[in-house]
Amino acid sequence: MTLASNTYDAEPIPEAARAAIDAMLQSGDLFRYTAPQDAPVALLEREFATLMGTKYALAVSSCSAALFLSLKALDLPRGARVLIPAFTFAAVPSAVLHADCLPVLCEVGANYRIDLQDFEAKLGRDIGAVIISHMRGHTSDMDAILALCTARDIPVIEDAAHSLGTRWHGRNIGTLGRVGCFSFQSYKLVNAGEGGIMITDDADLVARAIIMSGAYEHNWAKHMAGSDPALGAAFERWQNRLPLYNLRLSNLSAAIIRPQLAEIPRRVRDGRANHDYVAACLNDSPWLDVPPPLPPEERAPDSIQFNLVGMDDAAARAFAAAAAAHGVKVQVFGQSTDNARAFWNWRFIPGDVPDLPQTRAMLMSACDTRLPARLSRSQLDLIATAICDAAAEVMGQTARYGT
């Protein structure tokens, strides 16, 4: 038996979205500010804030837009230095540059988490804000990070694009820092094609972000579900004083997202069970290593990352080719020429490529393969067997034909 070609396809959108979309096609009411109140985007924001346990949520066009608006809402001076992990998606340093700030890259260890020694050392060098990317849902030591940042009064933005449903000491990821940002792009837990959302308890910050997201004139009033004197005062304070970047979400996207919110617990549960099952299989191979989560972390994975053990670059590339021959697409982050998660490909950052040997070494042996929550046990067995067999083929040959 081999893997079916649709193994990695997205889940269907819940049927409930269809009626809402049909009604919108009839009415043409696609813009969030046309209705006097309770537009689908506004309802999504209220539901998401309730789900996460925060006061405010602002839905926008992407997680990148949410990161950009978060930095703008913090009112950092032009050229402010923003500390980010060197293992993240290119959208993160891009959002920093877009906000007229300068990304500073911090080392990441073999377990895909921020190296705290390098983090602390760089935090002392005139850092205006920190973005923590929970890359592929891996949570860095947030206790240590928040303690270090709080002591220096440096705001923390959580890039939880790929971490919806993850918990740290039982608390929702995205609620630990000053603001948390999520993505609804198709490869994330909730799929609207495109979209993002930011959450915070900070009335002044969210008022600034709402206006800059494109709430022109008095449209900010449609973000108030009741009396909130702090939020009302913040809107009055910032009215007409901020640029409008128009990064709004469409009602159509909100209608696709809202019925998926109820699916999150199942996707998290199944995704974690699938991941842990495949991780146990891979850890049985002497050439593969899946780093464990940190103790306070409950993960919500829809993919698996593992390190190749004892393979040089040629073996790593041969391994990826062998896995592909078995029908499983495995990407070794650093072994392709244009991977958007390899920091040396972020040539748009001013200055030389930074020297980050630890992160570079990790990227040269860290593998990435998708593991959607809806896979069956037999599909998981096929994937795990293909990966282990590919490693054995490559390393077995090395042993036979080696020195």
Ligand X SMILES: *Cc1c(COP(=O)(O)O)cnc(C)c1O
Positions in the binding site for ligand X (CB under 6 A)? 62-64, 88-89, 91-92, 133, 135, 159, 161-162, 183, 185, 196
Yes or no: say if 102 and 82 are a contact pair by the CB < 8 Å rule: yes
Q: Return all residues near 400 (Cβ < 8 A) that are at least 6 apart.
A: none
CB of 399 to ligand X, least distance (A): 37
Report the 10 Å Cβ neighbour count for 321. Answer: 12
Which of 369, 400, 398 minimizes the C-alpha distance to 309? 398
Rounded CA-CA distance 94/350 in Å is: 11
59 vs 234 by CB, closer to ligand X:
59
CB of 369 to ligand X, least distance (A): 15
3-state secondary structure of 183: strand
Give 72-115 as a DSSP string: HHTTPPTT-EEEEESSS-THHHHHHHHTT-EEEEE-B-TTSSB-
67 vs 205 by CB, closer to ligand X:
67
CB of 302 to ligand X, least distance (A): 11
Give 332-385 as a DSSP string: EGGGSSS-TTSGGG-TTSSSSPP--HHHHHHHHHEEEEE--TT--HHHHHHHHH
Rounded CA-CA distance 389/370 in Å is: 18
Rounded CA-CA distance 132/134 in Å is: 6
CB of 90 to ligand X, least distance (A): 9
Angle between helices 357-365 and 313-325 (to 10 degrees): 30
87 vs 287 by CB, closer to ligand X:
87
**148, amino acid identity:** L
Strand order in the sheet with 366-370: 288-289, 303-308, 366-370, 331-332
252 vs 288 by CB, closer to ligand X:
252
CB of 193 to ligand X, least distance (A): 10
CB of 306 to ligand X, least distance (A): 18
CB of 60 to ligand X, least distance (A): 9
Backbone angles phi, psi at 376, to 5 degrees: -85, 165
62 vs 140 by CB, closer to ligand X:
62
Yes or no: say if 10 and 191 are a contact pair by the CB < 8 Å rule: yes
114 vs 311 by CB, closer to ligand X:
114
Q: Which two tokens stand for residue 307?
A: 């390190």
CB of 264 to ligand X, least distance (A): 17
339 vs 398 by CB, closer to ligand X:
339
136 vs 222 by CB, closer to ligand X:
136
